[in-house]
Amino acid sequence: MSVRELTKVNCYHCGEPCTEDRRLHDSKDFCCQGCEVVYDLLNEAGLCDYYALEERPGVKQRSSVDEQRTELFDLAEVRERIVEFSEAGISRVRFHVPQMHCSSCIWLLENLHRMEPAILRSRVSFTQKELTITFREERFPLGQLVKLLRKIGYGPQLTAAKDQVDKGVPHMVYVRLGVAGFIFGNTMMFSFPEYLGANTEAGLRTGFQWLTILFSLPVVFFLSTEFFRSAWAGIRSRTVNIDQPIALGIVALWTRSLWEVGTGIGPGYFDSLAGLLFFLLIGRWYQAYTYRALRFDRALEDFLPLVVIRKTAAGEVATKVADLVPGDHIIIRDHELVPVDAVLRSGVGHIDNSFITGEPLPSRKEVGETVKAGGRQRGALIELEVLRTFAESRLKQLWAEQVSLQDRPVMPRLIDTVARRFTIAVLLIALGAALYWWGKDPAQVWPVVTAVLIVACPCALALSMPFAYGHTIRLMGKKGLFLRDAEVVERMAHVDTVVFDKTGTLTAREAHEVRWYARTANSAPVTSPRVQYNGMRDHWVDLLSDEQQALVQALARNSTHPLSAVLTQELRSDGTTTNGDQCSRSVSRSPIQWDAAPPGRHTDTLITDVHETAGAGIQGMVRSHAVRIGSSEFCGGAEMMRTNGDAHVHVTIDGVWLGHFAIRKRARTGIAAAVAQLRTRLRVALLTGDAQVDTELSDAFHGAQVRTHCSPVDKAQSIIHEQQQGHRVLMVGDGLNDAGALAQSDVGITVTETTAALTPASDAILDAEAVPLLPTFLLQARRARRIVLASLGISLCYNLVGVAFAVSGHLTPLFAAILMPLSSVSVVAFVTVGVMLAAHRSAKLT
């Protein structure tokens, strides 16, 4: 058997490694036809600067829902949402294009007018992942524009849900920050004469003091309003939050300063007040920094296509899913979702329910059988008759079941616990000082009490958490885990149990693993599915030769069965495979392109007399050999023991049964090691809707809880059970069948292969490639929390020093003005450096 050595080559367009479908074009390597097509398009339009700006900027084309449908852009509701204006034949549309990720993307999308003259202008808003295009709609319809964008890999995304991504950091945050900085700087300047002791002229002194009072007004009445509001809300609901000591401090500062200036005693603490607000608002700003282009919340409507094609007397019409009534005939193509419960009327259904139930392999449906909503068709076009409206369909019920479960248990936040203790401590100290001075020198009581309230600065407290967790979010994002907000970090640090889903989470969505099991010399069925290495070689008939593989592939190409499509992709027409193990095995990383034109190298294979028997297999004459592939009865072979839910495809050539292929979804690399690492300090569990768990995974989860046949409610109940026993659960899932469990668990993480894909509602989104890094992420979260605790210790030291001065009556405005910025800056610096170092060290571990 010839084995061609493949050197490690990466695609010029998207950067992924070129495996089986590698093509050479224009002296560049491409991993698939999709990438090559995009390159050609850009080359023709003279847009090859796309490749000059960044290396391998393209995104590999993965077909997903609604890829082929452009009719939905003719719908009034959709146009209303995306068309900003349309007049005199010129329209402006705004698309959401989450695929853009680099400067090349920006460059290409802003140079679209060079590809198509009807496009006048296009503008990108990178942080919102939006593209605004002005074009001549009369000459170039919207549907065509969408097709063009899809061709180059930047197809716009549209969902049924009401509103798109939020607009990022609210404007008021920036406005407040700007005003705070303005006032802080100016007030400090006005206070300089006081610090330097140059304020000798009475007139000048009062003048400056009144200036600082004037500047303090917006601080108290504009910048502090959110703190007062939050503190008041806390009082009303009888809880203590971090904003209460802050509000107290602000009030103390202001009233004390007014009193000092009014009675002519001193200059007041207005500079400290301005500084306090400035630092607090910086903390708030950093807290508002989340991933704006990703969506963490989902409504059920998001998962469905907006429209389906309905067959009417007048032809095929795009109809909204919500408008379907029982009796309508709809057409569903490959890779499209069946939106309502329906009966199959024409065609063969291979329905993939993995997103809904977790079963990995598609189930076959014949005409007359019912197809439930939520399944995805894998195969040729089918026609269905609607049985129930969407509102009554199984999907809706499934969703409702999961949503109605109990709420997730509340985990007390560190910041609230600290705020409570801090406030009580400060009040006690103030009280103690008041009592002491009441006895010693009553005139000092009020100054001392206000001094204590002023200097006990929760500023450092309020800053360390947003910055520590904010940095952690950023660093995790670089590695592939995108958190919803800072609280998730803290919850991750407390987790002691990790629950996994199987299909789509631990196994890849679209990638398959194909193994060949030859029949043994004595034609007995192989009892063990594992490849026997030592000493059993003589029992194995030689592996499928190149010629034989070519025959099988040529025949498989003519079948509509999804397993045939897998085989077509795995076997090369020139008979080579990618490794030389005695078990011939290849791994496909790309999804099956059902409607794509087949690569043009095999068309000279002579195939005749092809006959496909539904449910059994396909047979034909290929290069004058009689080839049969299909089930064991069809091929006259022995039924092999089916393990782990593999699908078996038997092969018979010229009447001789040769063996079978075992096809299953590939498990993600590095999972076993990751699970092992997690098990050193946490509990793990595996819950799946599938019927079986393959050996690799069952070994990794040996001794831990593994449950199969889990319905979505089973999974959620399982998590509730764990939580009732006091465990903190982190759930990793991906499909709709995990939605309830994800919402119920303390931290819910969804796994996705492309950030543009749909995921159920969760606290975090994990890139598929980064799943093995889960132990590192948990470690990072724990370290971040420890750093926050340490920084609280540091701020406590500052507070002790300040309070000591306050209690003894020696607090001066200058001292306060130095102490507060110093403590804030040093805490932020400590936290930043600490988190970066911790991340660096955790990265070294993997």
For binding to another protein (CB under 8 A), which residues are involved? 46, 49, 103, 106-107, 110-111, 113-114, 120-122, 124-128, 167-168, 171, 174-175, 178-179, 182, 186, 190, 201, 203-204, 207, 211
By beta-carbon proximity to another protein, the closer residue of 186 and 717 is 186
What radius of gyration do the chain's Cα atoms show?
33
Minimum separation from the CB atom of position 10 to another protein (A): 24
Within 8 A by CB and 6+ apart from 219, the residues are 180, 183, 270, 273, 274, 277
CB atoms within 10 A of CB 446: 13
- Three-class secondary structure of residue 166 per DSSP: coil
Q: Are 423 and 245 contacting, i.e. CB atoms less than 8 angstroms apart?
A: yes
By beta-carbon proximity to another protein, the closer residue of 127 and 695 is 127
Rounded to whole angstroms, the Cα distance separating 836 from 489 reads: 15
Minimum separation from the CB atom of position 664 to another protein (A): 41
- Three-class secondary structure of residue 103 per DSSP: helix
CB atoms within 10 A of CB 524: 10
Minimum separation from the CB atom of position 196 to another protein (A): 14
By beta-carbon proximity to another protein, the closer residue of 203 and 368 is 203
Tokens of 361: 């392999």
Rounded to whole angstroms, the Cα distance separating 17 from 11 reads: 6
Minimum separation from the CB atom of position 211 to another protein (A): 7
Minimum separation from the CB atom of position 777 to another protein (A): 25
- Three-class secondary structure of residue 667 per DSSP: strand
Q: Are 151 and 75 contacting, i.e. CB atoms less than 8 angstroms apart?
A: no
By beta-carbon proximity to another protein, the closer residue of 100 and 674 is 100
By beta-carbon proximity to another protein, the closer residue of 111 and 846 is 111
By beta-carbon proximity to another protein, the closer residue of 212 and 573 is 212
By beta-carbon proximity to another protein, the closer residue of 126 and 815 is 126
Minimum separation from the CB atom of position 114 to another protein (A): 6
Angle, alpha carbons 162-165-170 (nearest 5°): 120
By beta-carbon proximity to another protein, the closer residue of 180 and 700 is 180
By beta-carbon proximity to another protein, the closer residue of 91 and 128 is 128
Minimum separation from the CB atom of position 163 to another protein (A): 16
Q: Are 670 and 338 contacting, i.e. CB atoms less than 8 angstroms apart?
A: no
- Chain Cα centroid distance, residue 276: 36
By beta-carbon proximity to another protein, the closer residue of 177 and 768 is 177
Q: Residue 53 is inside which H or E element, if any?
A: helix 49-53
Rounded to whole angstroms, the Cα distance separating 146 from 75 reads: 14
Minimum separation from the CB atom of position 785 to another protein (A): 30
Block residue for tokens 């909503």:
373
Minimum separation from the CB atom of position 180 to another protein (A): 11
By beta-carbon proximity to another protein, the closer residue of 167 and 601 is 167
By beta-carbon proximity to another protein, the closer residue of 207 and 432 is 207
Query: Secondary structure of 624-663 in the HEC alphabet?
Result: CEEEEEECHHHHCCCCCCCCCCCEEEEEEECCEEEEEEEE
Minimum separation from the CB atom of position 189 to another protein (A): 9
Q: Are 256 and 450 contacting, i.e. CB atoms less than 8 angstroms apart?
A: yes
Identify the CA nearest to 240 among candidates 89, 427, 385: 427
Which residue type occupies 811? L
Angle, alpha carbons 23-27-32 (nearest 5°): 20
By beta-carbon proximity to another protein, the closer residue of 128 and 402 is 128
Identify the CA nearest to 322 among candidates 300, 292, 352: 300
Rounded to whole angstroms, the Cα distance separating 676 from 679 reads: 5
Q: Are 355 and 736 contacting, i.e. CB atoms less than 8 angstroms apart?
A: yes
Strands (E), 107-233: 119-125, 130-136
Phi, psi of 444 (to 5 degrees): -90, -10
By beta-carbon proximity to another protein, the closer residue of 117 and 598 is 117
Rounded to whole angstroms, the Cα distance separating 751 from 768 reads: 6
By beta-carbon proximity to another protein, the closer residue of 135 and 661 is 135
Within 8 A by CB and 6+ apart from 559, the residues are 565, 612, 618, 629
CA end-to-end span of the chain, whole Å?
A: 38
Give strand pairing partners of 134. 92, 121
